[in-house]
A and B are shown apart, each in its own frame.
Chain A
Amino acid sequence: MSKRDLVVIGAGPAGMAAAAMAADLGLTVAVLDEQPRAGGQIYRDVDRVPKGRGRILGKDYTDGASLTAGLRHDRIDHVAGAVVWAIEDGFCISYTKDGRGAQVTAERIVLATGALERPMPIPGWTLPGVMTAGAGQILLKQSGILARNAVLVGSGPLLYLLAAQMVRAGTPPLAMVETQTRRDLIGAARHLGGALRGWRYLLKGLGLLAEITRARVPRYTGAQNLRIEGTDRAKAVTFSARGTSHRIACNTVFLHHGVVPNTQAARSVGVVHDWDAGQACFAPRLDQWGGNSVAGLFIVGDGAGIGGARAAELAGRLAALKVAEELGRLSSAERDRKAEPIRSALYGELAARPFLDAAYPPCSETLLPADSTVICRCEEVTAGDIRHYAKLGCLGPNQTKAFGRAGMGPCQGRYCGLTVTALLADANGQTPDATGYYRIRPPLKPVTLGELASMEHVAPDAAE
């Protein structure tokens, strides 16, 4: 089994920045990521994207190449295509690559597993042709394919980004069906002070909106009663806005109302999580370096709380400084001196967040969906089923497993966990913290017997 000072899980901006900084400070690092190339979600495939596509995706995307370049370092092994499925004390990390199991040990771990799309259960959301806006972006970045007749549904900056990219590519969306209301915007105004400090984000957002408007993409705001029609695939989106009902025929629907921390790996090792009311999701309880209830493990990037790519990168560097100090490569005074400018940049990056979170809140009708709506995609459990469990005395997500199969499919609750917590909390009149979340146990992703049998104790570089 091979050994590293630091194993970084996730090669997005947070993980790449942490790895580069740690290697610069003399640590040996392995970076494991299940994707075939570095970049994470935002900079997906940035190293092999054709020129023309870079223009569609924008400079914020192509800038990611400076981070992937940082991984080409003598002391860094980037193990691509490595699906991490267990983290054990000590630390020993188990993963699968090319159908074979392998392990690596580490003094310290940086978890940088990023975000997931917030679940958006509406009638018809399981139909083929319905995808997340993030999926729409991945299709464009990684594969250069664009939906010709798409409707974008939900709210938030990422929805505008996808719409603007579709406009630039010559396939503008048929419509934007937006769920935020004017009241949300007025409510957000009290965070305007912070937003002005983060003025770059506001300007960017206004720029995207201008592109969408110039392309004459119809926009509906305050949309309610969202539904996707179709039997074998999505055929149309129906909704009401300002008292009028609408139906828009389409081939593809992209859903989005924010991203939430992907907490699977952190939960599997017992990191304590708290409900973050501002972002309406669970986030790990962290100190200023990304440290938490599990000694030696650090959590950075969107997996620590949604802050965006630049903030993720900065948090990655802070964790690397702390790891280097703990392993004796840096005095605590040097660590603090190096951390100071990073911390003040991070403060600036996060300034606009409270405004954005308040202006584009999650769509309320999907937080507590109607009884007939499927909420667990894997096992096809409905919101009504969960409410029924609550009536029978079910208090928390782990007890639902005694009543039915919610959260027991292959996605392990990634796209139903928050909904189950919200439904039970609402039905029982309890807080999300008191209600809790699914207990996550390894394996984090399904592993076959064949993969276990082939388990080699090899160095990550030998596994290339």
Chain B
Amino acid sequence: MKPVSPFLELDDTPRAEVTFDGAPLRLPEGANLAAALLAAGIDVFRNTPVSGAPRGPFCMMGACFDCLVEIDGVVRQACMIEVSPGLQIHRPHAQEADDVQA
């Protein structure tokens, strides 16, 4: 079931097929990945290594590291990536989330 998004999208941009934790998603191509996931109704991007608390994007400027996702085995900041077709995005495993790439 597609989650209901708390966000309104102003433009209708061509979509790219990606997956998030295995589920197919159609996100605006070239868009900021963190913004696109939020607009698609995904709010929990990861759980913290310390307590397992849920987290999602906070700063959108690459400073807080709360938007971490895993792509091709690398943990990265979703707010610093653009959507491209075929991205396979995962919630990072807790222990990996400390090992980040800018």
Residues of A participating in the B interface, judged by any CB pair closer than 8 Å: 34, 36, 41, 50, 52-53, 56, 83, 85, 96, 99, 116-117, 126-132, 134-135, 138-139, 142-149, 169, 171, 232-233, 251-252, 262, 377-380, 409-411, 414-415, 445-448, 451
Known: A127-B54, A128-B55, A135-B61. A146 touches B45 (CB 8 A): no
A41 touches B61 (CB 8 A): yes
Chain B residue with the shortest CB-CB distance to A252: B6
Chain B residue with the shortest CB-CB distance to A230: B54
Q: How distant is the Cα of A135 from the Cα of B64 in the complex, in angstroms? A: 11
B57 touches A377 (CB 8 A): no
B100 touches A126 (CB 8 A): no
Q: How distant is the Cα of A415 from the Cα of B63 in the complex, in angstroms? A: 8
- Determine whether B59 belongs to the interface, using a CB cutoff of 8 Å to chain A: yes
A142 touches B59 (CB 8 A): no
Measured CB to CB, the closest approach of chain B to A455, in angstroms, equals 14
Known: A50-B11, A143-B35, A380-B51. A233 touches B44 (CB 8 A): yes
Known: A129-B43, A380-B51. A134 touches B10 (CB 8 A): no
Question: Mask for B40-70, Cβ within 8 A of A = 1, else 0?
Answer: 0001110010110111111111111110000
| CB contact between A378 and one of B11, B57, B60, B65 (< 8 Å): that residue | B65
Contacts of B43 on A, CB cut-off 8 Å?
Answer: 128-129, 233
Contacts of A128 on B, CB cut-off 8 Å?
Answer: 43-45, 54-56
| CB contact between B9 and one of A96, A135, A144, A251 (< 8 Å): that residue | A144
- Among the interface residues A53, A232, A410, which one has the most CB atoms of the partner chain B within 10 A? A410
Contacts of A83 on B, CB cut-off 8 Å?
Answer: 62, 80, 102
B44 touches A135 (CB 8 A): no
Chain B residue with the shortest CB-CB distance to A53: B10
Contacts of A129 on B, CB cut-off 8 Å?
Answer: 6, 43, 56
Contacts of A379 on B, CB cut-off 8 Å?
Answer: 50
Chain B residue with the shortest CB-CB distance to A251: B6
Contacts of B16 on A, CB cut-off 8 Å?
Answer: none
Given contacts A377-B58, A379-B50, 11 further A-B contacts (CB under 8 A): A34-B102, A83-B102, A117-B59, A130-B58, A131-B60, A132-B59, A143-B31, A148-B7, A171-B8, A377-B64, A414-B64
Question: Mask for B10-23, Cβ within 8 A of A = 1, else 0?
Answer: 11000000000000
| CB contact between B82 and one of A36, A126, A252 (< 8 Å): that residue | A36
Contacts of B87 on A, CB cut-off 8 Å?
Answer: none
A411 touches B65 (CB 8 A): yes
A85 touches B82 (CB 8 A): no
- Determine whether B25 belongs to the interface, using a CB cutoff of 8 Å to chain A: no
A131 touches B59 (CB 8 A): yes
Known: A53-B10, A145-B38, A145-B39. A134 touches B51 (CB 8 A): no
B60 touches A145 (CB 8 A): no
Q: How distant is the Cα of A446 from the Cα of B63 in the complex, in angstroms? A: 11
A134 touches B65 (CB 8 A): no
Q: How distant is the Cα of A252 from the Cα of B8 in the complex, in angstroms? A: 12
A380 touches B65 (CB 8 A): no
Measured CB to CB, the closest approach of chain B to A421, in angstroms, equals 18
Contacts of A85 on B, CB cut-off 8 Å?
Answer: 102
Instruction: Provide 25 A-B residue pairs closer than 8 Å at the C-beta atoms, listed in order of the A residue.
Output: A34-B102, A50-B10, A96-B102, A116-B61, A116-B63, A126-B58, A126-B66, A128-B56, A131-B57, A131-B59, A131-B60, A135-B57, A139-B60, A148-B7, A171-B8, A251-B6, A377-B58, A377-B64, A377-B66, A378-B65, A409-B65, A409-B98, A410-B100, A445-B62, A447-B102
A126 touches B10 (CB 8 A): no
Chain B residue with the shortest CB-CB distance to A83: B102
Measured CB to CB, the closest approach of chain B to A52, in angstroms, equals 7
A232 touches B61 (CB 8 A): no
Contacts of A116 on B, CB cut-off 8 Å?
Answer: 59, 61, 63
- Determine whether B36 belongs to the interface, using a CB cutoff of 8 Å to chain A: yes
Contacts of B10 on A, CB cut-off 8 Å?
Answer: 50, 52-53, 56, 144-146, 169
Measured CB to CB, the closest approach of chain B to A105, in angstroms, equals 21
Known: A232-B44, A233-B43, A410-B98. A126 touches B53 (CB 8 A): yes
Chain B residue with the shortest CB-CB distance to A34: B62
Q: How distant is the Cα of A411 from the Cα of B57 in the complex, in angstroms? A: 13
- Determine whether B32 belongs to the interface, using a CB cutoff of 8 Å to chain A: yes
Q: How distant is the Cα of A233 from the Cα of B54 in the complex, in angstroms? A: 8
| CB contact between B61 and one of A36, A52, A138, A144 (< 8 Å): that residue | A138
Q: How distant is the Cα of A82 from the Cα of B6 in the complex, in angstroms? A: 32
Chain A residue with the shortest CB-CB distance to B62: A34
- Determine whether B101 belongs to the interface, using a CB cutoff of 8 Å to chain A: yes
Chain B residue with the shortest CB-CB distance to A99: B101
Chain A residue with the shortest CB-CB distance to B97: A410
Contacts of B100 on A, CB cut-off 8 Å?
Answer: 410, 446
A149 touches B6 (CB 8 A): yes
Chain A residue with the shortest CB-CB distance to B33: A143
Measured CB to CB, the closest approach of chain B to A411, in angstroms, equals 5
Contacts of A143 on B, CB cut-off 8 Å?
Answer: 28, 31-32, 35-36, 39
Q: How distant is the Cα of A149 from the Cα of B7 in the complex, in angstroms? A: 8
A445 touches B102 (CB 8 A): yes
